[in-house]
Structure 1
Amino acid sequence: MSNARMKYILRELMTSEAPLTGEYLANLNQVTTRTTRNDVKELNNIILEYGTLIHSVMGQGYQLEIIDDHKFRLFLRDYFDEELPHGSRYPSIPEERTEYLIRRFLLSNHYLKLNDLADEIFVSKSTIQNDLKNVKKVLDHYDINLESRPGHGLKAVGDELKLRFCMAEYVFDRTEELQERLPEELFSSFSKKDKNAVLQIIVDEVKINDITLSDIAINNLLIHLLIAYKRIKDGHQISLYQTDFKEITEQREFKVADRILKKVEQTLEVTFPEEEVAYVAIHLLGTKMVSADENLNETNVEHLIDPTTRELVNAILIKIEDKMNLKINRDQELMVALGLHLKPAINRYKYGMNIRNPMLNDIKRNYPFAYEAGIIAGLAIEEHTGSEIDENEIGYLALHIGAAMERNKMNAQPKRCLVVCASGLGSSQLLFYRIKSKFEGKLEVVGTTEYYKLNQYDLSSIDFIISSVPIPDNISTPVLEVNAILGKQDIENIESYLNENEQSIYEYFRPELMHLRKDFDSKASVLRFMSERLQELGLIDDTFLTSIYEREEFATTAYGNLVAIPHPITPHSDETFLSVCTLKSPITWGGKPVQFVCGLSVKRNSTEDLQSMYEMLGRIIDSPALVQKLIKADTYEEFVKVLLRDKGT
């Protein structure tokens, strides 16, 4: 166990620019600070000879210093890849044991006894029995059962196709180079020369037939061919429903798959039944990609994506915009990327091919709101196709959405404002030109209008209104009130709005919605407390908490770094707000420790620009040093001061 803790500590120190306190690391591992001190000491002894050491910075915590980068890389390779004689790893935490047991069952042709499995990884039989619950959950996903035979043990039994999908996902570590990660236990008789030959056959055929596959897709296909070879040698056959089979044989990819397998048969001296051709064709259908044009416009989009997929992409983007207001629904690159991704992805869902996403945790932590949009996209896909989308696929959708969000940030145009006066052309024109000259390049003043004509003006492309008269609150566009003769304070107010500095932080974090350094021992008690306070203030109704739990069922909103951002999946309030609760001690939330809880609610039919709010929350999720300071803040003033300092205002 200390080994797993030390890896966690090392990973955190590697990814943090600022020192991390012992208390923070202890909370992450859910141990005492004394245990963490010992872990750091032991870790230091290990890494010292690899040109790396952990400094203890007075009053600030621990910081990693890498003196010899080459030596440190060698250390990481060895330390994070400790191999057992059988090519498997000594698993120390439940997740690792679950994966180990899945691999053992998938790779075994005979029954396995629980006592033997317990002895292999130095745990008790009762621990193994506990882990089997998780193993069964994973295998259920692939319709694979653990068949029990008295006196003999357990064996994985299921449809041959599903067994292979499961093997492809759990036997191989996709994050490493394929050629170096093929387990010898599975392919001891499979020479490197043969592996390379099969790889070359795949590459040649897809190239000749204008099927563009990513490197990951080619590696996946190679893995599956090797599994097919091994399984046929062991006497297993694959079976497909006849209706599916007929549909696949009519696809162009079936002919390509047939040519690939004929060449592989000659190389490996093995005979594949026709069903195996269909199986490879599913892979070509399930992973094909097309290169998009560099200069994208609506005509190109229509040319690249068929009408059905285009309709699905539009439905996804409308749903995301409706619920999150990310301003990415007109991004042509995103439309093409999603369209090209979804066409083969739908084939994957159709044939039960679930792909594993090795980047999933990183995506959740680094692009939390893109991941959130991915969940909304998944719901839209389910509504349109009836196929349930798992979180691996949501992660891939999030990457496309995250790229669009970054593009949106880079391409941000000056904010557009409308000047409103009571009446009189002279004063409105004076205000118009004064603002225009003062904020040249920063602000586009699109025009002026009298107050009584405001209801006739299309405000959809206006970011905010600058008005010399009071405007009722029922207008959805933000309003800045100024004097008709623009004064120094007015200019500062406009600048402050444009810079989104103090104003936005005070706007998002309101004193009545801050609950600092509280004593709660569970996720349920925190959420109950926060929703009661919000109800007292009249911000939510009694369906809000149920909606929060509905969102948690899709995937946890604990994003790592002790942060959770619970929120409903659909807008539930009449205004956008953040509600914060920090805790004296961490609680468990979706299997992760959490000490900073930030409830988020977006206004129904919001037209606000929420980019800066999402960016600020993303910065908190991404910064251990900032979270440490925020959870120590005792007062609202102290909390806000930490954020202002972090933003450099």
Structure 2
Amino acid sequence: MRTMTLLGILEKYDRPVTKVILSERMNLSESSIRNVVRDSNQIGEKNGFQIELIRGQGYVLHITSRERYDQFVVNETHRSEMYNPEQRVNFIISFLLQAENYVTIDQIATHMDVSRNTIVKDLKEVEKKVAASDLFLEKKVHYGLRVLGEESDYRRAFSKYVLTDYYLTPVKEFKTFRSLFNLDELRKVVNEALMANDLKMSDVAFENVVRHIRILIFRSLKSNFVSSYKHLKVEPEKGYYQVAEQIVTWINKKYDVVLPQSEMMFLAAHISGKVSIAKIDDQEKAEIDNQLGEILQTLDSAFSTYFTNDPVLRNDLLFHMLPLMKRLYYNMQLENPLVEEIYSKYANVFVIAFRFSELIEKKYGYQMSRDEVGYVAIHFAAHLERIKSVSLEKYKRIVVICTTGGGSAELLRLNLENIFSNAYISTASINNFKQYKDDPPDLFLSTVPMEASYAQVPIIQINEWIDEDEIRRIKDIISFQIHHKLDNQEITGLKDLFNEDIFYREKSDIDYLSLLKLRADDLVAKGYAVDYFPNSVLEREKKFTTIYRNGVAGPHAMKLDAMKDAVSVTILPEPIYYNDRTIQIIFLINLKAGHLFLHKELSRLLMRLMDHDYIRQRLIQTKNFRQFMAELELLI
């Protein structure tokens, strides 16, 4: 339910949230955000909340009746999420982390409004996830359950499961603490301490530190302290310690709690890994910059990219890497609540970002978290966006072929001028466009189906109505075509990736990974993929699953190294499950090195498929390849 997603975001930010942020978080256009706000306000009239737009700042949530609002959230959470196994597991962990003592299975079941047997079945996965956070789930007869482990590990898990998952309703004790806690006052204290010591942080890093301090206070009020800082290989530098000391002094005074030296040192280590590079030694900068250059050259060789030639990318990665190295050193990596959304939107650059993380681990011995990989992926995504902008500037003369004429054609031309700011754009009808045979433009855009080119000039089909999604699609297609023309590579269209000999529809009781292995082996046997493709696909899936929303999966190898570009499709009339996620349609992606723009087009296709229930269901119901392609073309 989009209203619940919207409310969760507005509650989490504790400040006005811009349409741009909401658009990114919810994967909706800004106009769609306005519609969701309007619909949510209608719901809120009876359920104790309203959403206000503050001009120039963003949207703010006003709770007019706490009782009615809380009841609405509880009801919708139970209705929408409690029957999702993954959400149930996260909820159980969140509940246990907030509990001071043992919690019984019956207490959890009552709080979640599910059966006791359901909780018992979920506990095996709970134990796995708790162990992945270096914690331990203790089960004691006649007492119940509780999570044990090092306080530093406990707090990282608390941040992950309690603070960043806005779908989960907090337990009463933490809910009371959160409602009384003054986040703005804490932000002011942290900001003043940083300024006094001439330190700077990005907004993301700043909010991560604020989140850490809020958990520190909550846990310290219950006398749960980090008992030692001996796991820190070296003590943080003086400047970071002074910031921590100033913040701890404020905590001692405001909350009447005395924090031990170990807490101050632990906080200083957090801060040292999240400041900008201004305080980092020039020699260290130079060393990391040289090593970064080597990493980018390796990536260029593997993906047929031009990262080394982009000074903006190199500078941005350097600014990111310097504090990153300190975070890796202290094992205090940034949390990234948007990592799943970043992955679904930029699956193509995640292939690169994961390879980047492997090279970091090989060179320095530190393993990056998925969250940190997500932040690195954004830098590579920005590089590709810059390539798009440069690509669009290469077109100086464009002809738009349309059937409507008049005002509609003029509106279409004006909208396209926003994309091609340096081009002269004219319109023509389908009957007279052949006049351009002897004097062709740089590009044809057509609102009607046509051949792929005319007079050796590409023809790209577009929609008559240009919205934000269509703008992104046009930019991606054009950038892809230019990129491959520069490399003298054969251009492959999306439809050419799908072939009848790698299309499957079957009822299967096979598990997901075994099915992937079977399909990957088939691509190798039919000459599409290299020999190590199956192992690479499974390695990729185990590191970070490629199962998206609504039963759609887009698995691929660790790197792009296909013999022939292709996408294997498997439709499952009855869904299967992996890691508590549903799978019903699998697009196994196999692309050549350098085909990142084509990968982006596939990602866009999968996202549209996730968001269009009707078309997705029609695809699942298709009986053969011909029917499948007919339905798929509605999305391409």
State the TM-score, normalizing by the size of structure 1: 0.66
Q: Deviations over 1:24-82 (max 9, x none)?
A: xxxxxxxxxxxxxxxxxxxxxx9896399xxxxxxxxxxxxxxx999998899958972
Residues 629/399 of structure 1: CA separation in 2 closer, same or farther (3 Å cut): farther
> Does the aligned pair in 2 maintain the 1:265–1:271 contact within 8 Å?
yes
Question: Is residue 304–residue 336 contact of structure 1 (8 Å, CA) maintained in 2?
Answer: no
**CA contact 1:114–1:128 (8 Å) conserved in 2:** yes
> How many angstroms apart in 2 are the aligned matches of 1:195 and 1:104?
22
Distance 1:182 1:213, change over 3 A: farther
Match of 1:221 among 201, 209, 227: 209
* 2:277 and 2:322 in contact (8 A); partners too: no
Q: Which amino acid aligns with 1:232?
A: S
Is the alpha carbon distance of 1:536 and 1:412 closer, same or farther for their aligned partners in structure 2, counting shifts above 3 Å?
Answer: same
Matched, 1:549 2:542: no
Q: Work out the CA distance in 2 between the residues paired with 1:255 and 1:354.
A: 21
Q: In the alignment, is residue 96 of structure 1 matched against residue 113 of structure 2? A: no
Deviation (angstroms), 1:104: 3.0
Equivalent position SS for 2:569: strand
Counterpart of 2:187 (choices 199, 207, 213) is: 199
Looking at structure 2, the residues matched to 124 and 75 of structure 1 have their Cα atoms a distance apart, in angstroms, of 31
2:352 to 350, 373, 383: 373
Alignment correspondent of 1:143: 134
Aligned match of 2:198 in 198, 203, 210? 210
Preserved contact between residue 51 and residue 72 of structure 1 (Cα < 8 Å): no
Q: Does 1:618 align with 2:603?
A: yes
**Alignment correspondent of 1:169:** 160
Deviation at 1:260, TM superposition (A): 2.5
Distance 1:489 1:237 in 2: 66
Q: 2:455 aligns with which of 476, 487, 492?
A: 492
* Cα pair distance change 1:636/1:436, threshold 3 Å: same
Post-superposition offset of 1:204: 0.8
Please name the residue that 1:257 is paired with: 244
Match of 2:385 among 403, 406, 426: 406
CA contact (8 A) 2:361 2:368 kept: yes
Q: Distance in 2 between matches of 1:312 and 1:538?
A: 37
Aligned to 2:273: 286
User: Which deviates more, 270-279 or 164-173?
Assistant: 164-173
Q: Is the 8 A contact 1:338 1:400 kept in 2?
A: yes
Q: Deviations over 1:392-448 (max 9, x none)?
A: 2222222222222222212227889xxxxxxxxxxxxxxxxxx999567679xxxxx
Contact 1:580 1:596 in 2 (8 A): yes
Describe the SS at the equivalent of 2:577.
strand
Q: CA deviation at 1:284?
A: 0.8
Q: Distance in 1 between matches of 2:267 and 2:129?
A: 24
Aligned length: 514
Residue 281 of structure 1 and its aligned partner are, at CA, apart by 0.7
For 2:331 and 2:338, the matched residues in 1 are separated by: 21
Deviations 1:211-244 (A, max 9, x none): 2223443343334334333433433332334372
Alignment of 1:37-52 (within 5 A): 50=43
Q: Is the 8 A contact 1:319 1:376 kept in 2?
A: no
- Which letter maps to 2:337? P
Q: Which range moves more in the overlay, 341-350 or 585-594?
A: 585-594
2:262 maps to a residue whose letter is E
Q: Among residues 566, 576, 589, which one is paired with 1:577 in the alignment?
A: 566
Identify unmatched segments of 5+ residues in structure 1: 18-45, 53-67, 293-300, 417-434, 444-487
Give 1:279's aligned amino acid.
F
Indicate the residue corresponding to 2:225 in structure 1. Answer: 237
Deviations 1:471-528 (CA, angstroms, capped at 9, x unpaired): xxxxxxxxxxxxxxxxx99963453699759973278326454415444454356435
What is the deviation of 1:206?
A: 1.0
Given that 1:516 and 1:634 are in contact with CA atoms closer than 8 Å, whether structure 2 keeps it comes out as no
Shift of 1:144: 2.0
Between the aligned partners of 1:74 and 1:230, the Cα distance in structure 2 is 25
Q: State the secondary structure of the residue aligned to 2:163.
A: coil
Give how far 1:278 is off.
0.8
Decide whether the 8 Å contact of 2:89 with 2:123 is kept in 1: yes
Cα RMSD after superposing both structures:
4.8
Q: Distance in 1 between matches of 2:141 and 2:545?
A: 39
Letter in 2 for 1:621: L
Spell out, residue by residue over 1:91-136, the C-alpha distance to the aligned partner (whole angstroms, 9 max, x if none): 4433333233323332333222333333333334433233222222
1:109 maps to which of 100, 121, 124: 100
Alpha-carbon distance in structure 2 between the residues aligned to 1:540 and 1:249? 49
Relative to 1, partners in 2 of residues 1:437 and 1:249: Cα closer, same or farther, differing over 3 Å? same
Distance 1:506 1:120 in 2: 48
**Per-residue deviation, residues 524-544 of structure 1 (Å, max 9, x unmatched):** 564355345434433445543
Distance 1:631 1:313, change over 3 A: farther
Q: Do the aligned partners of 2:208 and 2:334 also contact (CA within 8 Å) in 1? A: no
CA separation in 2, counterparts of 1:627 and 1:92? 22
Contact 2:346 2:600 in 1 (8 A): no
Spell out the pairing of 1:472-621 with structure 2 (5 A cutoff): 492-495=455-458, 504-505=492-493, 508-509=496-497, 511=499, 513-515=501-503, 517-522=505-510, 523-524=512-513, 526-527=515-516, 529-540=518-529, 542-571=531-560, 573-588=562-577, 591-603=580-592, 606=593, 610-621=595-606
- Corresponding residue of 2:318: 339
**Which residue identity does 2:378 align to in structure 1?**
L
Distance 2:550 2:141 in 1: 46
Matches of 2:179 and 2:308, distance apart in 1 = 50
CA distance in 2, matches of 1:415, 1:222: 45
Whole-angstrom distance in 2 between the partners of 1:395 and 1:74: 32
Instruction: Give the Cα separation in 2 of the matches to 1:397 and 1:182.
Output: 31
Q: Go from structure 1 to structure 2 and tell me whether the alpha carbon gap of 1:141 and 1:344 turns closer, same or farther (over 3 Å shift).
A: farther
The one-letter code matched in structure 1 to 2:297 is I
Instruction: Describe the shift of the 1:611–1:541 C-alpha distance in structure 2 as closer, same or farther (beyond 3 A).
Output: closer
Q: Find the partner of 1:128 among 119, 123, 131.
A: 119
Shift of 1:253: 0.9
1: CA distance, partners of 2:60 / 2:207 = 28
Correspondence for 2:259 among 255, 259, 272: 272
The separation in 2 between residues aligned to 1:510 and 1:102, in whole angstroms, is 42
Q: How does 1:66-77 map to 2 (within 5 A)?
A: none
The verdict on how the C-alpha distance between 1:408 and 1:639 changes in structure 2, with shifts beyond 3 A counting, is farther
Q: Give 3-state SS (helix, strand or coil) of 1:242's partner.
A: coil
Alignment-mate amino acid for residue 265 of structure 2: A
User: Per-residue CA shift, 1:360-413, capped at 9, x if unaligned?
Assistant: 221122211122222222222221222222222222222222222222212227
User: What is the aligned partner in structure 2 of residue 325 from structure 1?
Assistant: 304
Amino acid at match of 2:332: M
Q: 1:547 and 1:16, CA in 2 relative to 1: closer, same or farther beyond 3 A?
A: same
Q: Is the 8 A contact 2:4 2:73 kept in 1?
A: no
Q: Which moved more, 1:535-544 or 1:637-646?
A: 637-646
C-alpha distance in 2 between matches for 1:633 and 1:96: 31
Larger-Rg structure: 1
CA gap of 1:139–1:594, structure 2 versus 1, over 3 A, is closer
1:160 alignment partner AA: E
